[in-house]
Amino acid sequence: MGGYDQIEKDLVETRYLSVSKCNLLQALSVLAEQFLCEINETMFSERYIQEAICFHYTISKLICEAFYNKFNPKDVREDIYNEKIVLAKEAIKNIDSGKYKHDKRRKTILSFIVSLVESILKTNFFCIDKLAIGFRLSPHFLDQIPEFDRTTKYPELPFGIFFIYNKNFFGFQIRFRDLARGGLRTVINKDMETALFQKTNMFGECYNLAYTQQKKNKDIPEGGSKGIIFLHPNNVKKDIEIIKKKLTLEGYSGNIEEIIKNYENNARNEYLYSMQKCFLNTFLTLIVANKDGTIKERNIIDYYKHPEYIYLGPDENMHDCMIEWLANESKRMEYFAKGAFISGKEETGINHKEYGVTSIGVFEYVKLGLDYLKLNNYTMKITGGPNGDVAGNLIHLVKKEHTGRCKITSISSSVCAILDNQGIDINELDQMFLKGKALQYFNPDKLHDDGYMIRIDQRRTYQPFVEQFKIYNKKNGKVEENWIEINKGMRLYETTVHQNVVDVFCPCGGRPYTLNENNAQSFFVNDKPTAKIIVEGANLYLTPKARDVLEKSGVLIFKDSSANKCGVVSSSYEILGGLALDDDQFIAIKKQYAKEILNRLVTIAQGEGNCMLQAYDAKYNSSLVSISEEISRRINEYTDCIQEFLAPLNLFDTSNKKYLNVYIKYIPECLNLYKEQLMTRIPQMHMKAIIATSLATHLVYSKGLVWHVSIVDILPNLL
């Protein structure tokens, strides 16, 4: 559950403010912490933010009243709202307790909370059946974080920011263009210590993922976005202890551990799904609009006054059952995209894991890197288990196309790491992928001599205060089961992959910033990097500084926004099909549609990869990462310019037929059966975005980065 709560104690229990107003202040305190921690993480923790709110309770009450005057549908008074905001700012300015440091901190906190209230454009706060509190904010408040240069950490202002709060979670959805798509991930915290460690960086993580997505989405009409749900730990451990005692006292003779394990899994999933539903229902409430663009929920006062075109995709801890639920919920709540709101559906979608769409791109970049360095037989290491989407499908592709050419010598997952310099049994790994089995269930008998497998999910208490992890070692053809002290075991688990010397490293799983400037040296043995090529199958696995260190050491790095972009391209085509077709029509052509999409993914990956390597050979830049960034920047710049030009046009005017033809050419051949629906069901805004990105990507991939517009290029249009 959520952590510290002084507001409830000081303002609710004393009946100074209503429960609703205190809930508002709690939401604002959690939101404010994400940004004020940029100044000082200790001084502006949630504890100190709530202390300031409670210490100056009269100002806090004034802020609440201003919020009510702005958004209460029964009593909207913008004039009174403006007056109270002025009064609140004046009261904050006049704070003087005689203790300068405390006054300065409290002034900073309360002033920023006022800025947040001013930035809120719509909220579901006054909806009767709300499951969480949601805000749609103007992103300009990022420029009002005191003593903080926004451009140093957030170089580009997002197009829109959503914040959603509940006692059990909070989350963000950030997008960089009006029309945007991106995944929704849930960060699960097993204990409060982990939660407190990760909590204050959630906006930063969401921003960086969305910003990476914006660069990655250069090949598709939708701009980049990302959603994150930060889930507080639940109380399942207390329940487990009660169940254990009950079964023991009753003399239960069965397998108690099995019962506990099943209960824990069911309770964890029930908690996860219920909180995801709260977040998503709140999010949809804030964006579902009538046909005229006005917000559908009558208890929402909307100062934004524009429809919002947003699509989601699956990401960490988004299970298939929730994907299907969300598609149905979008239809039930009558969002314009209906089931196309979420990609990755089983029947009416192109499931990423089933078709391996992301891994197709990753594998193409592996092949491009091998060809560039003229490597034939090669070794590879991977993060991410065989049951994962990207890692599992990459293993499958390696077995299918490079058996005998590639040896995977190390691999790690969230609880297990394996090292086998003679090559981990590829058939065993592939079978685990096909059966959806996690890495810890790898058969140790399949190891070669001197190979090992460490499992940090298997631990024992050896002596008082001495814990150990299970490790399997293969020696003289036999597997030995041993135990290793927890500190040595954790070190071995964390460095197994990074220290293994190979040709190609594919990070396909792991938390953001796993390899950073503080531990980059773990990727070196005898002062040499442990891989010649890195293909980033996972987002943000490396920090920019870690990339810089490795590139300067001669590593060829294919950045995440290039290497794993094929997943978003597939999702974009799924959205196009979902918008244009009825469910039965989509299902009827799905097999052929998927085949055509997969072919396009290979072409798109090769197009950018070749463009990057040509620029690298031409000495355009000594950094392949910088070249990737420049390709994204150039395409997005061209796309925005073309979209601005197309915005006032009616594509169905005969004079604009040449632009409409670009849209028609973009459509996969099997969709041409439904050409009329593609013209009537796809919003013109979406069609124009397709035209713009098609022209921009073709221009950059065909002309390269060394090309710039010249008078000769535009001469035909001047005559």
β-bridge mates for residue 174, sequence order: 161, 226
Count of CB atoms situated within 10 Å of the CB of 324: 18
Which tokens is 68 given?
């009510």
What's the CA gap between 534 and 510, in Å, rounded? 15
For 172, phi then psi, to 5°, come to -130, 155
pLDDT of residue 282: 98
Q: Are 235 and 1 in contact (CB under 8 A)?
A: yes
For 409, phi then psi, to 5°, come to -105, -15
Q: Write out pLDDT tens, residues 243-283.
A: 777 777 777 777 777 777 777 788 888 999 999 999 999 99
Pick from 148, 106, 140: nearest CA to 120: 140
Query: Average of pLDDT values for 555-578?
Result: 95
pLDDT of residue 716: 64
pLDDT of residue 253: 72
pLDDT of residue 702: 94
Q: Are 63 and 27 in contact (CB under 8 A)?
A: no
More confident residue, 670 or 715: 670
Which tokens is 678 given?
């593609």
Task: Indicate the helix (H) or strand (E) that contains 468.
Answer: strand 466-475
Note the pTM of the prediction, 2 decimals: 0.87
- Tell me the CATH class for 354-563: alpha beta
- Tell me which DSSP letter residue 447 carries: P
Q: Which of 76-80, 345-349, 509-513 has the highest mean pLDDT?
A: 76-80
What's the CA gap between 577 and 682, in Å, rounded? 10
Helices (H), 155-235: 192-199, 202-216
Q: Are 105 and 44 in contact (CB under 8 A)?
A: yes
Count of CB atoms situated within 10 Å of the CB of 548: 17
Q: How does DSSP assign 478-493, residue by residue?
A: EEEEEEEEHHHHHHHH
What's the CA gap between 712 and 706, in Å, rounded? 16
CA 582 to mean position of chain CA atoms: 29
Domain ranges of the chain: 1-126, 158-342, 354-563, 574-718
| Residue 617 Cα distances to 385, 549, 614, 633, angstroms | 35, 21, 5, 20
pLDDT of residue 243: 75
Amino acid at 178: D
List, in order, residues 6 or more apart from 262 with CB less than 8 Å away: none
In this prediction, residue 607 has a pLDDT band, given cuts at 50, 70 and 90, of very high
Q: Are 328 and 339 in contact (CB under 8 A)?
A: yes
Q: Write out pLDDT tens, residues 528-558.
A: 999 999 999 998 999 999 999 999 999 999 9
Residue 286 above 90 pLDDT?
Answer: yes
Residue 346 above 90 pLDDT?
Answer: no
What's the CA gap between 339 and 583, in Å, rounded? 9
pLDDT of residue 81: 96
> If you search the block for the tokens 């420029």, which residue do you land on?
143
List, in order, residues 6 or more apart from 4 with CB less than 8 Å away: 46, 47, 50
Handedness of CA 50, 54, 55, 60 (dihedral sign): positive
In this prediction, residue 717 has a pLDDT band, given cuts at 50, 70 and 90, of low
pLDDT of residue 42: 87
Which tokens is 46 given?
């949630």
What's the CA gap between 717 and 596, in Å, rounded? 34
pLDDT of residue 238: 72
Which tokens is 169 given?
């979670």
In this prediction, residue 76 has a pLDDT band, given cuts at 50, 70 and 90, of very high
What's the CA gap between 381 and 406, in Å, rounded? 10
Out of 3.10.580.10, 3.40.50.1370, 3.40.50.620, 3.40.50.10860, the CATH code matching 158-342 is 3.40.50.10860
Find the range with the poorest average confidence among 189-203, 251-265, 330-344, 493-507.
251-265
In this prediction, residue 715 has a pLDDT band, given cuts at 50, 70 and 90, of low
Q: Are 550 and 310 in contact (CB under 8 A)?
A: no
Which tokens is 142 given?
């990022």
For 79, phi then psi, to 5°, come to -65, -45
In this prediction, residue 714 has a pLDDT band, given cuts at 50, 70 and 90, of low
Amino acid at 463: Q
At how many degrees (to 10) do helices 426-435 and 389-402 cross? 130
pLDDT of residue 3: 55
Residue 589 above 90 pLDDT?
Answer: yes
pLDDT of residue 63: 97
Q: Residue 695: CA atoms inside 13 Å, Cβ hemisphere, count?
A: 20
